[in-house]
Amino acid sequence: MMGLFNICTMFYHFTGLARAEEVAETDAYVPPPNAESYAFEAEVNRMMDIVINSLYQNKDVFLRELISNASDALDKIRFLSITDKEKLKDKEELEVRIMYDQAAKSITITDSGIGMTKDELVKNLGTVARSGTTNFLSALSEGSADMNMIGQFGVGFYSAFLVADRVRVASKSPDDPVQHIWESQNGQSNFIVAEDPRGNTLGRGTEITLYLKEDAEEYADPKKLKTMVTHYSEFITHPILLRTEETIKVPKSKPESEDEEKEEDEDLQVDEDKEEQETEMEEVTTFNWDKVNTNQAIWSRDKDEISDDEYQEFWKVVSKEPYTNATTWSHFNAEGNINFRSILYLPDQIPQNLRFGNFKDEAHGLKLYVRKVLISEQFELLPKWLAFVKGVVDSDDLPLNVNRETLQESKIIKVIGKKLTRKAIEMIKKFSEEEPEQEQKEDEEAEVDEDGNPIEKKKDEDKEHPYISWYKKFSPSLKMGVIEDDASRTKLAKLLRFKSSKFNGANDWISLDDYVSRMSDKQDEIFFFPGENIEEMKTSHFMDVFNKKDIEVLFFDDPVDEYLVQHMSSFDGKKFQAITKEGVKFKDEDEDFQRRREKVYKEKFRPLTKFLKKTYGSQVSRVVISKRLGDAPAVVSSADWSHSSNMERVMKAQAFQHGRDPSEVSTVKVLEINPRHPFITQLLLLSPPEDDDQAKSFVVPPSTLDAAWTLLDVALLNSGFGLSNVKGFTKRMTRVLKDSFGLDSLELEPEIDVPEEEDVPDEPDSNFGGMNMEDFNMDSLDFDSMTEEL
C-alpha cells in the first residue's frame, strides 16, 4: 500500500514539476520568426491609457474582468453546442482554471469557452472594428456613461495591464485547426500574433498569462487569488478552479538490488523482535485544483424551487453572519425599462454598523452584480434608513466595466433604487400582517383530567408578535424613513407601532390605522403624550380628562417620536395633537356654553392670574384658566407652537451644543390653573385686589408668595419640566418644614458635652486567653494524647 502511495505521490510530483517547467519555458518565450506584428489603432492606445490610469481605481478588478470574459465565452460555446454537439468534442468540460507561478511572477487564467481564431484575435484585441473602442471613447467624452461594451474581449480585457507588464493570450477556436497566440507589452503601440509553438495544448478555449509588474507581484499568491475570486466571482455559473500546491512528507524510496533484498530479508529474520527503525522521509510538492465558487446564485432560480433552508443558508453568505437567521425575505424579478433580479433580507439582529444609531455612509447592505459578477458593495441602492436590509441585486442591463462614481450618478441606478425601496417596504408590510404560527406539538398527547376529558390550554396572550419583536429593534430606522423619505412617508407611517393608554400587554402595540379606526366621536385629532416613562405618563394629571372621557392616547416615549410628528403633521386626514400643549379640544363640549363659562371664570380669577403672572415674571408666558384639569390644582403646558417638556429635555441633552443659548430650546410655558381646586380658590382670597391703587398699598405676606411659588414648582414637576431656580425652591421648602414643625428659629443646637473617658488598659498582645506568646511553652503540650482524643 505504501508503495502505491509513493507511486501516486511521485506521479503528481513530476507532473507538477513538468507544468512548472512549462510555465517557466513560456515565461522566457521568444516570438517565432513567423510572428506577425500589428499596430494598435490610435483609439485603442488612448482607451488603454484611460482604463489603466482612470477608469479602474482598484487593481483587483482585473481578475473580475477576465473571469467575466471567460464566463461569457463559456456561455457562448454552451449555447452553440445545443444545436451542434460537435462544438464540445475537443473538450467537454466547461470551466475556468487559474494558476500562478511565484518564480516566474505570473498568473494564468484558462477557460474552455468558444476561443478565437487568428482573425478574431487581431480584431477583438487590437482594432476598433469589434471591440467597440470608438463608441466607448465617445461615451466617455459625452459623459453619457453608456459603457456596456464588454463582450468576449472588449474594454475589460485591457484591465490586465493594470497589473501586468506583458500579456500573452493563447486561443483555440473550433473553427480554426491551429492554436494561435497574441502578445503585447505594456506601453508598446504594437502586438504580435503567431502560431503557438506548443501546438494545440488547449483543445478549445483561451489562456491568458499575465507577467506581473513589480508592484503587483502580490497577486501571484493562492490566498490572495482565492480571496479575490470569492469576493467578485463567487456566484459565476461555471466552476472556477484554482491550482494550489502542498508540500507533504513521504517515505524516501531507494533503488535496491537483489543482493540487497536478500540481505534485508536476513536482517529482518535476525532482528524481528527489535523495534522498527524510523523511516527516512522526504518532502514532495503536490498540486491540486480547488473549486473556489462553491456558492450558488440562487436569485437566478425560480423561487418556488428554493426551500426556506436554502434561503437561510444564502442569508449567511450574503450577510457574513454565520450564526444568525433572516427574519423574512423577498425574492423577485423586476421588469421594465431596466430588468434585474433581487433577494432582499430582513435581519433578525441589529447589524453592527447600525448599533448606537451609527448610520455609516460607507456601510450599505446590498451587493450589486452584473451577470453574477460583483461590481461593488458600496452602491447606495437603498436610502440610508434602509441600511439594515441585506441582499443582492443582479442585472444584465448594467455596464460591467464602470467605476462606482460614474454609475452612482446613472439614472438606471436611481430607477433600481426606487423599485428596491418599494419592494423593501412591501416586504416589511407583509411581515407585519402575518399571523403568528401557533406552536403545535403533534407528538404529544393532549392533557386530560381525571374523567378523561381533554384540558383546554390557555392561549399565551402575552407572547409577542414576531413583527413587534423585530420592530423594537429596528423602529429607529423606520422613523428615520418617515422623517427623511417624503415619497415613502405615508407607507412607512402604517408600519409604525405605539403603546397606548388602553392596553398593557406584550402585543398591545397599535398601529395608527388601528387608532384611527376606533377613535371616539368626541375627538377629531390623534392625541399623543410625549414623555420618558410610560408608567409616569399614565398617572399624569394631563391624562385626567382623557381617562374621564374614555379617549385613547398614544404614548410617545421614544425621543425621536416628536421629531417624527413634526414631519408628519397628520395621518389619514387626522392631525396630531400633544396633550401636554394648550388648545386641546373635544367635540362633545358645547362651545357656546364653554365660552360663557370661561368668561365667568376669567373674570372671577383675574386678580389671581394677574398676581401670579407678575410674581412669576418670565418663568411663564401666561396664566390661564384650565378646562381639562381634574384633581390637580395646576399644570404647566406648552404653547401650541412651542416645544413640549419632553422635547426640551431631549434638545438640551443633545451633544454638540457649542455656543448655543439655552433659551433657544426653552419651552414657552403656560400655567393652567384649576378654578375648582381649593388651593386656587384660597390663593384668590390672598391675592392683591385688581384695582391698581388698592394693590399699591396691599402687602403680600411671605407665606402667600411661598404658596404661589410652590404651586408653580409642583406644576412644573408634574408636567415633566425641571425647576428653573433650585436654590429658591430649597429655601421655600425649608420654610415649609419650619412651619410644619412649629419652630421659631433655625439656630443650631450647641455641641453635646462628652464626658472624659476613663483609663482603659492596653489590649494584650496576640495570645491565648490572655497568655503572652512568650510565656507559652510548646514543649509542655502532649500532642500524642491530643491526637488520640481527636
Bigger pLDDT: 22 vs 471: 471
Record the cell numbers describing residue 304, joined without a space: 418556488
Residues 6+ apart with CB under 8 A from 70: 96, 109, 111, 113, 206, 238
The cell 494584650 sits on which residue?
764
Which of 144-153, 175-184, 374-383, 762-771 is predicted with the least confidence, judged by mean pLDDT?
Answer: 144-153
Record the cell numbers describing residue 564, joined without a space: 417624527
Strands 36-39 and 96-101: unpaired
Q: How far is CA 673 from CA 364, 661, 686, 711, in A?
A: 53, 30, 16, 9
Band (398; pLDDT cuts 50, 70, 90): confident
pLDDT per position as a tens digit, 298-337: 998 899 999 999 999 999 888 888 788 999 999 999 988 8
For residue 441, the model assigns a pLDDT of 43
Residues 6+ apart with CB under 8 A from 778: none
Which of 10-14, 283-287, 641-645, 663-667 is predicted with the least confidence, judged by mean pLDDT?
Answer: 10-14
Q: What is the mean pLDDT of the chain?
A: 79
Return the bridge partners of 448, or none.
454
Which residue, 412, 407, 380, is CA-closest to 55? Answer: 407
For residue 638, the model assigns a pLDDT of 85
Q: How far is CA 22 from CA 17, 29, 169, 180, 542, in A?
A: 8, 10, 16, 17, 88
The cell 418670565 sits on which residue?
618
Percent of the chain residues past pLDDT 90, beyond the cut: 32
Can you tell me the mean pLDDT for 567-594? 85
pLDDT per position as a tens digit, 121-172: 988 887 643 444 554 455 445 544 333 333 334 567 888 888 999 999 999 9
User: d(Cα 571, Cα 524) in Å, to the nearest integer?
Assistant: 12
The third-level CATH classification (topology) of the domain covering 497-578 is Rossmann fold (3.40.50)
Band (499; pLDDT cuts 50, 70, 90): very high
Domain 591-740: top CATH class: mainly alpha
Q: How many CB atoms lie within 10 A of CB 475?
A: 19
Q: How many CB atoms lie within 10 A of CB 412?
A: 17
Return the bridge partners of 334, or none.
340
CATH of 35-214, one of 3.90.1150.10, 3.30.450.20, 3.40.50.300, 3.30.565.10: 3.30.565.10
pLDDT surpasses 80 at 359: no
pLDDT surpasses 60 at 725: yes
The cell 485603442 sits on which residue?
44
Question: Kind and range of the H or E element at 655?
Answer: none
Q: How many CB atoms lie within 10 A of CB 694?
A: 10
CA atoms within 13 A on the CB side of 391: 30
Can you tell me the mean pLDDT for 198-212? 94
Can you tell me the mean pLDDT for 245-263? 66
Which of 218-227, 272-281, 429-438 is predicted with the least confidence, judged by mean pLDDT?
Answer: 272-281
CB 76 within 8 A of CB 114: yes
Record the cell numbers describing residue 592, joined without a space: 357656546
Strands 240-251 and 96-101: parallel
For residue 153, the model assigns a pLDDT of 40
pLDDT surpasses 90 at 413: no
Return the bridge partners of 373, or none.
370
CB 368 within 8 A of CB 342: no
Record the cell numbers describing residue 457, joined without a space: 390550554
CB 347 within 8 A of CB 391: no
pLDDT surpasses 90 at 343: yes
Record the cell numbers describing residue 499, joined without a space: 403603546
pLDDT surpasses 60 at 774: no
Residues 6+ apart with CB under 8 A from 45: 189
For residue 245, the model assigns a pLDDT of 83
Bigger pLDDT: 426 vs 739: 426
Record the cell numbers describing residue 386, joined without a space: 434602509
Q: Where are the alpha helices (DSSP H) in 195-325?
A: 222-233, 258-270, 308-319
pLDDT per position as a tens digit, 13-59: 333 333 444 444 444 446 666 888 888 877 777 777 766 666 666 78
Which residue, 98, 218, 108, 239, is CA-closest to 170? Answer: 108
For residue 309, the model assigns a pLDDT of 92
User: d(Cα 346, Cα 389) in Å, to the nearest integer?
Assistant: 5
CA atoms within 13 A on the CB side of 425: 23
Q: How far is CA 708 from CA 472, 637, 672, 683, 715, in A?
A: 44, 17, 13, 8, 11
Concatenated DSSP letters for 168-202? EEEEE-TT-SS-EEEEEETT-SEEEEEE-TT-S-S
Which of 25-39, 528-542, 703-717 is predicted with the least confidence, judged by mean pLDDT?
Answer: 25-39
Can you tell me the mean pLDDT for 421-449? 74
For residue 633, the model assigns a pLDDT of 92
CB 63 within 8 A of CB 228: yes
**Chain centroid to CA 551:** 39
For residue 271, the model assigns a pLDDT of 54
Band (192; pLDDT cuts 50, 70, 90): very high
Q: What is residue 436's DSSP assignment?
A: P
For residue 496, the model assigns a pLDDT of 96
The cell 398527547 sits on which residue?
445
Q: Where are the alpha helices (DSSP H) in 54-153?
A: 61-83, 118-126, 128-131, 133-142
Domain-by-domain residue ranges, the chain? 35-214, 298-433, 497-578, 591-740
* Lateral strand order in the sheet of 634-638: 622-625, 669-673, 634-638
For residue 21, the model assigns a pLDDT of 40
For residue 451, the model assigns a pLDDT of 59
Dihedral, CA of residue 560, residue 565, residue 567 and residue 569, to nearest 10: 180
CB 234 within 8 A of CB 292: yes
Which CATH code for domain 298-433? 3.30.230.80
Residues 6+ apart with CB under 8 A from 756: none
pLDDT per position as a tens digit, 86-96: 888 888 889 99
